Structure 1
Amino acid sequence: MNQTPQAAIYSPVAQIDALMPDIAAPVDAADFPQTILRFRNDRAAASVGLDSLSDEAWIAHFGRFEPLPGTLPRPLALRYHGHQFRHYNPDIGDGRGFLFAQMRDSDGRLMDLGTKGSGQTPYSRFGDGRLTLKGGVREILATEMLEALGVNTSKTLSIIETGEALERNDEPSPTRGAAMVRLSHSHIRIGSFQRAAFLEDRALLEKLTDYALTHLYGEVPGDNPPAQLLGRVVERTADLAASYMVAGFVHGVLNSDNINVTGESFDYGPWRFTPLWDANFTAAYFDHQGLYAFGRQAEAIHWDVAQLAVSLRALVEAAPLIEQLERFPALYAQAMARRFCWRLGVVPGDGADAMIAAAVRGMAMSGTGIDRFFHDWRGGVAREGHDYDDAAWDAFRGAIAGFAGVEDARRHDYWTDAAPCSMHIEEVEAIWSAIDTDDDWAPLHAKVAAIRRMGAAHSECIAAA
C-alpha cells in the first residue's frame, strides 16, 4: 500500500487496438481559448516516463492533446452501458473524455491516460463535454488523499485551465473550465461488458475477457476465462470496498459504469470523506435513498460485480460464476482486517473482526472522528493526553491489547502532530475559495504536500501489505 512509484522509461503501446473498432469511436479534442498549466503530477508522471517533459510539451500534450509518440494516433471515446442507481442505461459512454494514450509503467503494467473535460464526443448527449476547474481541484484532492491512505486509485496527472466560462446548475456560474488527464490501470469497466452482452455480441465479450486477463492481469486464459476474470474482479473489488471504509471515504456514484475491472477507484464527482463512522452518510445530494451511503458501499460494489457475472453468463454456465461471486463477503472481511490493521499500525492477527467492531462502536458512541481515532491509536496504544478511558472504549481497549504494534509504527514525525491530516468538505471548499476568489493556489499545493507527508508516514510501516 502507498509506495512511491519507481521511475520508468517511457514505453508507449496501443493495446486497445485489439478491441477496435467495437470498443470506441475516434474523436477530436476541443480547441480551448487558453491552456494554463495549473497542476502537474511529476510523481505519477515518473512512473510512466513522462516527468521529463517541459511545461511547454506538457501543455501541448495534455492541453492541446497533440499525440504522444508511439501510442494512439487519435483519441478514442469509449463505448459502454451501465446501471445508474440500479436503472439500466444503454445511452452512455465517454461524454466529456477519451482515452488519449497507453503505456507501460515501471512494473510493466498497462496504463491508460484518460481525460475529463476534453470536449464533446458522440456520447455527450446534451452535455458540453467540459469540466469545471473546481471539479478538477476536487479530483486532485480525492486522488491524493486516497493514494496516501493506501486505496488503489487513479492518479490525477494534469489540470490545465482552459479560459472558458461554464454554466452549471449545481455550483455558482459562470465558473472556470479545465481539462484533466488521469493515469489509470485501464478504463475498461463493468459497463463495457454490459454493452457487449446487451448487443448480444459474443465475439466482443470474448475479446474483452481475453484483453482483461492478458493485458490487465497478466494471466494466460485458462479453461474457463470468464470465471477466471470474474474471480480476479471479485478479489480486487472486495479489497476496494474495504479500502473505502478504512479511509472513511464515500465515492458517491458507484454505478456499474464507474467500476473498473481492475478494481481501481476512479471518476470522482460528489465524493466526500465522512468525519464520523456513520453508515448512513452520503456524498451525492441526489442520492435520496442512500443507495451509495458509506455503510452500503460494499453491497453496492458487490451488486455491480454481479452485473458483470450476468454479462459473462452469455459465454459460460452460471455455476462457476456464482461460485466466484459468493467469495466476495469473505474476501471483503479479510481485506477489512488487513487494511484496518495497516492503518492502525498493528500486526494482523486473530480477533481482528471483533477488534474492528469494537473500534466502530467506540467511535460511534463517543463521537470520535475516523482520522482522529487512527491517529491517536497508531501502534495499538492510545496517545498520551487523549482520554479513551470512558465506557465507550471498554471493548476496544480489551480487543486491541491482543495486537502487537508494528515495529517503528510511529517512526515518522507525522505521528507527533497534534491533529491528523484530514480532508473534509469545509477544507475542500476553503481551498477552492482561495483559487476562485484570489487565484491563490498556495493552499492547494500546501495540502497536497501535507497529504503526501501523511502517506509517507503510513508507507514507512513495515506491515504495509
Structure 2
Amino acid sequence: MADQPILSLGPDILRPVEPANFPKAILRYRSDRAAGEVGLAQLSNEDWARHFARFDPLPDSLTEPLALAYHGHQFRVYNPDIGDGRGFLFAQLRDGAGRLMDLGTKGSGRTPFSRDGDGRLTLKGAVREVLATEMLEALGVPTSRTLSVIETGEDLHRYDEPSPTRSAVMVRLSHSHIRFGTFQRLAALKDEEGMARLLAYVRDEFYPALAEGDAAGLLRAVSERMAVHAARLMAAGFTHGVLNTDNMNITGECFDYGPWKFTPTVDPGWTAASFDRTGLYAFGRQPEAIYWNLAALADALRPIGDPEELKDVLEVYPDAYAKAFPDAILRRLGVRPSDPQADQSFASDLFVFLNKTRLPLERAFFDLFAGSAGRGKRLRSPHSDTYAGEEIIRRLDAYEPLQPERAEHPIFRREPPTLLPDDVEALWDPITEADDWSAFEAKVAAIREYGEALAIADRFS
C-alpha cells in the first residue's frame, strides 16, 4: 500500500506538477548513507537517474510530484507570492524507525509558483549544498541531507555567477517539507479547516505526543527544537544567510541553503548574503531571527489556538536557547555537562575568548576537542601559545571528556576540514575548469571522517 500521508492536506496546498525534461542525466553525487535509511541504497546508477532526474515514481509512494503552496516573511517583509518555485515533493518514505521522510527536489523545473524564475539550479549551487549538509551533519546540526545531484546538461544564466553556467537537479532528504509559511498562508486565507488538517498532519507524523488540536503544544514543541537548531548553528560557526519563515521547517531542521558561509572567527557581524546589507541574519543575530520567526508562527496559529496561551508559550524559546547553547558548545568539545549555571558561564566566556583572540573558529574547536584528553593535539597546534595559561582552558580541562579515546583519532594528527569561502571556491575551480571532482570527493570524505571522530551527529526523532 502506498504511503502518502501528505495527501490528507488536500488540493489547495498541493499542486501536481510535471518535472522538467532534461537533455542529460550525469550522476555527480549520491549519498548511499542517507539512501540506506529509506531503503534506496541498492538502486543501480541507471535506476537512480531514472528516479532522481526523470522522476519516475518510487514504488509505494507518491504517484506524481507535488509543489506545496506557502507564504512567508522574507527579511521580515510578508510575501504571499511564493511557494515551491523550483522544486517539489517527490516521495514520502519511512526510515527504519518508521519515521516519515520527505524527498524534496531543487532545480526540477517550473511550477505554478515559479513566477519569473526558470525553475533550475546551478551545478555550483548543488555542490555547495552537498558541502553544507555534509559539514553540518558532521558538526551535530540537525539538517536536511543531500541525497542526489545529477548534472542536467543545460546552460544557465545567473547574475551572481559567471554565465553561462552548468545546471543540476538535486534531491534532499528531510523529516518534513512543511514550513512555517505553510501555516502562514492558511492563516492569511482565513482557512481554519485547512489549518486544522495541517495541524492534524503535523501532529500525527511528527509530534504524536501532542493532544489533538493542541496549537499551543505544537508551538512549544517547535520552539524547543528551534532553540536546539539555533544553538547548534552557533556552535558550528555557520551562517545560513536567509532565515526567512519560508525557510523554517516544522521539524526544526536546517535546510534550503543559499548564500551560506562558515564564519572564520567568532564575529557576530559576519554575514553570508551580499544583499543582507543591514546584517539582519548575521551570525550573531541568528538566535534572534529564529525567535522572530517563531513569533510569526504563533501569530499564524491564532485562528486555531488561544492567543494568550500562544503568547505565553512563545516565551519557552529564550530559556530553551539558554540551555541549548552550552549543551551545543560542550557537545562540540566532547566533554560532559556539569553544573547548568557553570556550563552557561563557560560557553559564553569561551565565545568571548574566541572573539577576543580572533582564533580560527573551527581550528579552536579542533584543538580543544576532548578537553584534557586532547592536550597533546593542543600543544601541537600553531595556536598553542594562545591557549597557554588561559583561565578558560583551565576551566575546560576541569570537564570530564565523554570518550577520551576520540582525541587519538588519526584525523587529529592532520588539519581540520574547513569550508570557509576560499575553501569552497578551491573545490569548485577544478570542476569548472577540468571536470575534476577529486578535490570535492576528498573533501566530502574528510568531512565524514571528521564527523566519525567527533561522534556528535544526531537527528531529531
1:233 aligned to 199, 222, 225, which one? 222
- Give distance in 1, aligned partners of 2:403 and 2:433: 46
The corresponding residue for 2:392 is 396
Contact 2:87-2:119 at 8 Å conserved across structures:
yes
Cα distance change of structure 1 residues 415 and 33 upon mapping to structure 2, 3 Å threshold: closer
- Give distance in 2, aligned partners of 1:12 and 1:332: 39
Alignment of 1:211-222 (within 5 A): 211-222=201-212
Task: Report the TM-score, using the length of structure 2 for normalisation.
Answer: 0.95
The corresponding residue for 2:359 is 368
Could you give the per-residue CA deviations for residues 33-65 of structure 1, whole angstroms, max 9, x where no partner exists?
111111111000000000011111100000001
The corresponding residue for 1:448 is 444
Query: Is the partner of 1:178 in helix, strand or coil?
Result: strand
- Give distance in 1, aligned partners of 2:54 and 2:412: 45
Report deviation, 1:398.
4.1
The corresponding residue for 1:352 is 343
Could you give the per-residue CA deviations for residues 193-238 of structure 1, whole angstroms, max 9, x where no partner exists?
000000000011111111111112233534x510111111001101
The corresponding residue for 2:283 is 294
Could you give the per-residue CA deviations for residues 413-459 of structure 1, whole angstroms, max 9, x where no partner exists?
24532421211111111111111000001111111100000000011
Q: Which moved more, 1:387-396 or 1:199-208?
A: 387-396
The corresponding residue for 2:39 is 49
Report deviation, 1:397.
2.7
The corresponding residue for 1:25 is 15
Cα distance change of structure 1 residues 283 and 409 upon mapping to structure 2, 3 Å threshold: farther
Q: Residue type of the partner of 2:111?
A: T
Q: Which moved more, 1:39-48 or 1:379-388?
A: 379-388
Q: Which moved more, 1:106-115 or 1:372-381?
A: 372-381
Alignment of 1:22-171 (within 5 A): 22-171=12-161
Matched, 1:277 2:272: no
The corresponding residue for 2:318 is 329
Query: Is the partner of 2:273 in helix, strand or coil?
Result: coil
The corresponding residue for 1:202 is 192
Q: Residue type of the partner of 1:333?
A: A
Q: Residue type of the partner of 1:353?
A: Q
Where structure 2 has 5 or more consecutive residues not aligned to the other structure, the ranges are: none
Matched, 1:342 2:331: yes
Report deviation, 1:460.
7.5
1:304 aligned to 293, 315, 322, which one? 293
- Give distance in 1, aligned partners of 2:208 and 2:440: 37
Contact 1:345-1:461 at 8 Å conserved across structures:
no
Cα distance change of structure 1 residues 190 and 461 upon mapping to structure 2, 3 Å threshold: closer
Contact 2:210-2:218 at 8 Å conserved across structures:
no
Instruction: State the aligned residue count.
Output: 453
1:377 aligned to 368, 383, 398, which one? 368
The corresponding residue for 1:7 is none
Matched, 1:14 2:7: no
- Give distance in 1, aligned partners of 2:331 and 2:272: 25
- Give distance in 1, aligned partners of 2:288 and 2:31: 33
Q: Which moved more, 1:396-405 or 1:176-185?
A: 396-405
Contact 2:23-2:152 at 8 Å conserved across structures:
yes
Query: Is the partner of 1:158 in helix, strand or coil?
Result: strand
Cα distance change of structure 1 residues 445 and 390 upon mapping to structure 2, 3 Å threshold: closer
Query: Is the partner of 1:88 in helix, strand or coil?
Result: strand
Report deviation, 1:399.
2.7
Could you give the per-residue CA deviations for residues 294-348 of structure 1, whole angstroms, max 9, x where no partner exists?
0000000111011110011111222221222101011112111111111101111
Query: Is the partner of 1:162 in helix, strand or coil?
Result: strand
- Give distance in 2, aligned partners of 1:178 and 1:412: 40
Could you give the per-residue CA deviations for residues 399-420 of structure 1, whole angstroms, max 9, x where no partner exists?
3243222232535524532421
Report deviation, 1:369.
1.2
Contact 2:227-2:287 at 8 Å conserved across structures:
yes
Cα distance change of structure 1 residues 302 and 192 upon mapping to structure 2, 3 Å threshold: same
Where structure 1 has 5 or more consecutive residues not aligned to the other structure, the ranges are: 1-10
Q: Residue type of the partner of 1:384?
A: L
Q: Residue type of the partner of 2:204?
A: T
Report deviation, 1:150.
0.7
Cα distance change of structure 1 residues 96 and 125 upon mapping to structure 2, 3 Å threshold: same
Q: Residue type of the partner of 1:58?
A: W
Query: Is the partner of 1:102 in helix, strand or coil?
Result: strand
Matched, 1:408 2:381: no
Task: Report the TM-score, using the length of structure 1 for normalisation.
Answer: 0.94
Query: Is the partner of 1:28 in helix, strand or coil?
Result: coil
- Give distance in 2, aligned partners of 1:404 and 1:420: 23
Cα distance change of structure 1 residues 461 and 232 upon mapping to structure 2, 3 Å threshold: closer
Q: Which moved more, 1:393-402 or 1:59-68?
A: 393-402
Report deviation, 1:153.
0.4
Contact 2:71-2:182 at 8 Å conserved across structures:
yes
Alignment of 1:417-436 (within 5 A): 417-436=413-432
1:317 aligned to 300, 306, 318, which one? 306
Cα distance change of structure 1 residues 163 and 367 upon mapping to structure 2, 3 Å threshold: same
Q: Which moved more, 1:57-66 or 1:408-417?
A: 408-417
Q: Which moved more, 1:263-272 or 1:378-387?
A: 378-387
